[in-house]
Amino acid sequence: MYYYKVWVASQRYHGAEPLTYSSNQKLESGTIIVIPLQHQNIVGVVDQSVSKPPFKTKSVLSVLDMPPLPQPSLKLLVWLLDFYPAPLGFITSQFLPSQLASKPRLPGPKKRSKATAKLNLPPLTNEQKVALGAIQATSKQHSYLLHGDTGTGKTRLYLELAQTTHKAHQDVLVLTPEISLTPQLVATFEQMFPGQVITLHSNLSVSARRSAWLRVLTATNPLVVIGPRSALFAPFRDLGLIVVDEAHDNAYKQEQAPYYQALRVAAKLADIHDAKFIMGTATPNVTDYYIAQAKGLPILRLQALAKGVQTRPNVVVVAAREKKYFTRSLHLSDALLQALEKSLQGGEQSLVFLNRRGTARLVMCQACGWQARCPVCDLPLTYHGDVHIMRCHTCGYKTNAMAHCPVCSSTDIIYKSAGTKSIVDELARLFPKARIKRFDTDNKKAERFEQHYETVVDGKVDMLVGTQLLSKGLDLPKLSVVGVVTADTSLSFPDYTAEERTFQLLTQIIGRVGRGHLPGTAIVQTYNPDSPIIQAAVTKNWQSFYQTQLAERQRFMFPPFCYLLKLTCTRKTQASALKTAQALRSQLENLRLPVQIIGPSPSFYEKTAQGYCWQIIVKAKSRHHLINVIKTLPSGWSHDIDPTNLL
């Protein structure tokens, strides 16, 4: 009889150590097996053999007919346990697709659906040649920050590097922040590497995702894997290149256990494989840029457009408080409507951006001041006119829209603060012949952007309306106008990253036009036209923005000048949550660690379906001290180390 430590892939297992199982056959490290756990049969991965333990063990039920999980994946798993502490079952589950044991058959060769057009690449610009030369100058693993303005051809460099990597018979991993961006990248890479591109993301069916994962595991030829952060845990055997596109994006942060930051995991994965690591972005995070400079990592700058007419978009700022600029619509300025009309008449596309879903974000009674709020979260309900309901975008609570005030019975109910659905209605009224599509997280599966990518690129949509989903990495050849309905929405959030988020979002959305295809126009409506953040984004003055932000963060000790840990507890009553949080603060103070403790205080979203949420923020110069804090947390507390915000 043989005995093995096993990584358990089940979120039912909250332990921190592998479990021991017995087997009547010899197994190597990485072997994928089926084991019993709490009256369920689950998948696990063999860690290592051990001597017979003093306690009774359960037996391995079966060994799956597939190659072992590669050693680089096991090394990453061990590192993840230490760097982003979480229950072992949660972490192991990242590395294995669900229902892996249901169909253990290995995938056959991929059938080509149709011939792809040959990829015609424009000549490299001088800046691209310099950047490419710097990356290819050494064969050793190295990390690079590719700081390229929108339209400067970062994807072109990814393709060149991927081609070199494939010639060395190594795999390529390209990460995107959103699933909606994968069709564009897949279409481009498929032209260069036909039949060798694999997509991995959560919107795939269970069987499709399992099949794609098995194809990576069993591959004998180099592949290009494209997907969001979860693609990091595909079973690569020999990675030569890792690209994180739109590297600044908050979507790279996992918002549930394990709370990992994909850039940090990607950097470690590159180190394990001795692969090149490229972080590409037009708007680097302040923290990432500072760290790159401090570590002496090459920062490669691209500013010249990669193709077409070398003219930047004409950006017009409209003061939203001045009603004289809004004679035809409450929400869309005359300047924006004129630009939209010109684009429509010219057979071009336009994009209207508003980072608020629904029809109206505020429902209230003008007679008594009553406001529609969620009974679970105590947050304002959003009205959705297409289905005539009010919905909470935090917990999902929904109810029918009201014709009468529940307090005073008045019928004077108003709907204020427009969302994407109301903008669509307004555009349909003003441009009845226009083909309009809305893209946000309220879309049903068949309505999502990735399902309509080819339709949009082919110009069969005249006007796109959407949230931040449309601000990231899209290259639409027929797009000539971008309209930002409210540029300062995120400036009001009480968080140290609010200004950075606003700058990035505005820069990215303006960058959808003026990419060398057509002359571009951007109309930016804002209540704060003189805001330094708005002005820096409009004029593309990243260095000014960076220096100002860096000084503020140093003054108030925020990253990159410290590490952060957010601790959260939820209790049935507010008093209980406060008492529990105060008790933890006392416990942390008794540890005598060199940390700064802030709070306790109510979370930004204090009331939830589970109760009242309170939080404590811990700052430290050494990340190791925060790991020690996590190890002492009592039951009932959740933690998020390296959070992207403190809301």
Which tokens in the block code for residue 605?
Answer: 């979203």
523: exposed, middle or buried (Cβ count in 10 Å: 0-12, 13-18, 19+): buried
Q: Does residue 229 sit in helix, strand or coil?
A: helix
Q: Is 303 helix (H, G, I), strand (E, B) or coil?
A: coil
Whether the pLDDT of residue 138 is over 60: the answer is yes
Quick check: 113 pLDDT over 50?
no
Full strand arrangement of the beta sheet holding 595-608: 595-608, 611-620, 563-571, 637-641
Query: Region 407-412: what's the mean pLDDT?
Result: 86
**Residues 328/174, Cβ–Cβ less than 8 Å:** no
Question: What is the Cα–Cα distance from 388 to 397, expressed in whole angstroms?
Answer: 14
Residue 109 pLDDT greater than 80, yes or no: no
Among the residue ranges 12-16, 265-269, 594-598, the one predicted with the least confidence is 12-16
Q: What is the DSSP string of 558-596?
A: -TTSSEEEEEEEEESSHHHHHHHHHHHHHHHHHTT-SEE
Lowest mean pLDDT among 138-147, 358-367, 626-635: 358-367
Which residues have C-beta within 8 Å of that of residue 509, sequence separation ≥ 6?
A: 351, 353, 470, 471, 482, 484, 522
Q: List pLDDT tens digits, range 248-303.
A: 999 999 989 999 999 999 999 999 999 999 999 999 999 999 999 999 999 999 99
Tokens matching residue 132 = 């490419």
Judge if the upstream peptide bond of residue 600 is cis by omega within 30 degrees of 0. Answer: yes
Average pLDDT, the chain: 89
Residue 456 has pLDDT above 70, yes or no: yes
- In this prediction, residues 332-348 reach a mean pLDDT of 95
Q: Is the pLDDT of residue 52 over 90?
A: yes
**Sign of the C-alpha dihedral computed for residues 176, 180, 183 and 184 taken in this order:** negative
DSSP letter assigned to residue 505: H
pLDDT category at 211 given cuts 50, 70, 90 is very high
Contacts of 220 (CB under 8 A, 6+ apart): none
Q: pLDDT confidence of 118, banded at 50, 70, 90?
A: low
Q: CA-CA distances (angstroms) from residue 80 to 6, 68, 72, 646?
A: 16, 20, 12, 22
- Which range scores top for mean pLDDT: 160-164, 353-357, 447-451? 160-164
> Looking at the whole model, is its pTM more than 0.75?
yes
| pLDDT score of 488 | 84
In the predicted structure, residue 114 carries a pLDDT above the cut 60: no
Percentage of the residues of the chain whose pLDDT score is greater than 90: 65
- Over residues 591-612, the mean pLDDT reads 90
pLDDT of amino acid 115: 45
pLDDT in tens, 538-591: 999 999 999 999 999 999 999 999 999 999 999 999 999 999 999 999 999 999
